[in-house]
Amino acid sequence: MTSHRTILVSLCLSALLWLTNNPISAATPHDRFEFISVYPLNDTADLYPTISYDTICGTTCNTTTTVLPAQDTSDIIDSVQTDSLQIDTLTLSSSTPIMDSSSVDSSVLGDSTTSRPSFFKRFIDYFADANKNKKHKKFDFSIIGGPHYSDNTKLGLGIVAAGLYNIKGDTSIPPSDVSIFGDITTTGSYLLGIRGNNLFPADRFRLNYTLYFYSFPGYMWGVGYDAGINDNNATHFTRKQNQFKVDFLIRLARNTYIGPTASFDLIFGKNFERTDILQGAAERTINGGFGATFVYDSRDVLTNAYRGAYIKLEQKFYPDFASNRYSFSRTEFQADYYHRVWKDCILALDFYSMLNYGDVPWTLMSTLGGGSRMRGYYDGRFRDEKSMTLQAEFRQRVWRRIGVVAWVGAGNVFPSFPKFDWSHTLPNYGIGARWEFKKRVNVRLDYGFGKKGYSAFMFNINEAF
């Protein structure tokens, strides 16, 4: 193939130089020239192009020749491939006549000594263009990552990739999204997962999914508010978890959906400093659940809503006949609301509750903390059969792709409604920075605070809710 390409390039240059020395009728600023090359995909094929030249002048001048187009240009190159041939079309458009030899040398033939942009410049350009609308692309995909450090995991490297797409090009509905995330540390901890929301044409169906595997060192304080508030209960262990969750939603009416849900969790703890912290519960649990989900969703964009509401009610069962060692049921409720309060400022409200009933394993109890709710608390420090949280967040765009947020919230864990104690309600507040990684997809850095000086930094993609 290399010899064919070399000959084709030579013929292309010869054709261009011939045109330069044999000007045709005057060209206009809208002149367009097309060069077409046909060459075999099989290196042994005995097929060489012949130069043909045909010109029609007027508002456009079309030049068609069976030669390979010039390389490393910014002109449009279309390619069609068959079983045995590849056909390339190069369209040249310029405000100056292509018959000018200086124009040919600089814009078409190029300078062989010109080097490619530096890696640093291409790196900057990549992120500078990441949030631009790319409706011409079927799948808009970008990657970001960097190092991090914590006392538990030591030095690590995290990577997040985000993609936006519309199935069959349906731009009348919000785009579907997918995120791939991974992390590895010097202590041997790892995380790998994928989550996404897939909207089918006309938004008649939705497929929401989460899949991840991780192994990280952590701490457990026990079950209940009194156990979590006692610093002396902290017990070091290693938590391993594999989870798969999927919802399939069918639209019943405008913004209203219903459908089945299912999940599978394999969770186990290893190397507990104190095994009595489990109070006789199994260190390893396998849980499979299924149920139904009802959703009302009027958000303008799923990943970063400026207006609308989101309400979700999910009822799930973990029965004995599904090989569950622990049989229980779970009810989850979430209600979010988004409203613009002034220019580039959004008020976001979130209420969430998880209510478990039955013989609930410690691995699937309701917990406070993490990267979405009660930010600033260690995820799992406070755990019990039931939990409720409430938060309000102001999101203000400051300059171009940069924004800031501030939030306040509260949460409570409790074993049952009769034993709910208002004095056990935990406060939460914090601030954060935002950078628009992709269109309406933010990378966020949050610093949250809680009771007794609890605090934590969080780095993630997409808004907390």
Per-residue pLDDT of 153-201, as tens digits, reads: 788 898 988 898 998 888 889 899 999 999 999 988 899 999 999 999 9
Q: For residue 90, give both structure tokens.
A: 């190069």
pLDDT for residue 51: 31
Of 50, 74, 79, the residue nearest 64 (C-alpha): 50
Q: What sign does the dihedral 143-147-152-154 (CA atoms) show?
A: positive
pLDDT for residue 24: 40
Backbone conformation region of residue 151, classed left if phi is above 0, alpha if psi is from -120 to 50, else beta? alpha
- Three-state secondary structure along 25-86? CCCCCCCEEEEEEEEECCCCCCCCCCCCCCCCCCCCCCCCCECCCCCCCCCEEEEEECCCEE
Query: How does residue 142 score in pLDDT terms, banded at 50, 70 and 90?
Result: confident
Could you count the other beta carbons within 10 Å of the beta carbon of residue 331? 15
DSSP 8-state class, residue 174: P
Task: Select the more confidently predicted residue: 134 or 282.
Answer: 282
The whole-chain average pLDDT of the chain stands at: 79
Distance CA 185, CA 36 (A): 52
pLDDT for residue 240: 95
Query: Which residues, 6 or more positions from 234, have their beta carbon under 8 angstroms from its beta carbon?
Result: 219, 220, 221
Query: How does residue 134 score in pLDDT terms, banded at 50, 70 and 90?
Result: low
Of 290, 297, 296, 295, the residue nearest 260 (C-alpha): 290
Q: What is the per-residue pLDDT across 237-285, written as a single tens digit (0 to 9) for each? A: 999 999 999 999 999 999 999 999 999 999 999 999 998 899 889 999 9
Distance CA 251, CA 294 (A): 10
pLDDT for residue 71: 40
Mean pLDDT for 375-390 is: 96
Check pLDDT > 80 for residue 43.
Answer: no
Q: Are 284 and 270 in contact (CB under 8 A)?
A: no
Q: What is the per-residue pLDDT across 339-369, written as a single tens digit (0 to 9) for each? A: 999 999 999 999 999 999 999 999 999 999 9
pLDDT for residue 19: 41
Task: Select the more confidently predicted residue: 349 or 36.
Answer: 349
Q: Are 309 and 337 in contact (CB under 8 A)?
A: yes
Q: For residue 93, give both structure tokens.
A: 């458009």
Domain 121-461 has CATH 2.40.160.50: yes
Query: Exposed/middle/buried for 421, CB within 10 Å: 0-12, 13-18, 19+?
Result: exposed
**Which residue bears the tokens 């490619």?**
116
Q: What is the per-residue pLDDT across 391-411, written as a single tens digit (0 to 9) for each? A: 999 999 999 999 999 999 999
Helix (H) or strand (E) holding 138: none
Check pLDDT > 80 for residue 40.
Answer: no
Task: Select the more confidently predicted residue: 207 or 120.
Answer: 207
pLDDT for residue 149: 73
pLDDT for residue 114: 57
Q: Where are the beta strands (DSSP E) in 323-363?
A: 328-342, 345-358
Write the DSSP string, 202-232: GG-EEEEEEEEEEEEEEEE--SSHHHHH-GG
Write the DSSP string, 176-198: EEEEEEEEEETTS-EEEEEEEEE
Query: How does residue 419 score in pLDDT terms, banded at 50, 70 and 90?
Result: very high
Mean pLDDT for 411-430 is: 98
Helix (H) or strand (E) holding 6: helix 2-21
Q: For residue 6, give both structure tokens.
A: 């070399």
Task: Select the more confidently predicted residue: 13 or 448.
Answer: 448
Q: Are 298 and 255 in contact (CB under 8 A)?
A: yes
Of 434, 430, 375, the residue nearest 399 (C-alpha): 434
Rg of the chain, C-alpha, whole Å: 30
Helix (H) or strand (E) holding 435: strand 426-438
Distance CA 278, CA 234 (A): 12
Q: In sequence order, what are the beta bridge partners of 428?
A: 409
pLDDT for residue 223: 96
Distance CA 20, CA 108 (A): 12
Query: How does residue 312 score in pLDDT terms, banded at 50, 70 and 90?
Result: very high
pLDDT for residue 338: 98
**Domain residues of the chain, as ranges?**
2-109, 121-461
Q: Are 372 and 464 in contact (CB under 8 A)?
A: yes
pLDDT for residue 50: 30
Check pLDDT > 80 for residue 376.
Answer: yes
Query: How does residue 31 score in pLDDT terms, banded at 50, 70 and 90?
Result: very low
pLDDT for residue 193: 96
CA atoms within 13 A on the CB side of 295: 21
Distance CA 301, CA 434 (A): 17
Distance CA 307, CA 423 (A): 34
pLDDT for residue 221: 96
Query: How does residue 318 score in pLDDT terms, banded at 50, 70 and 90?
Result: very high
> First vs last Cα of the chain: how many Å apart?
54
Q: What is the per-residue pLDDT across 285-308, written as a single tens digit (0 to 9) for each? A: 999 999 999 999 999 999 999 999
Check pLDDT > 60 for residue 74.
Answer: no
pLDDT for residue 130: 67
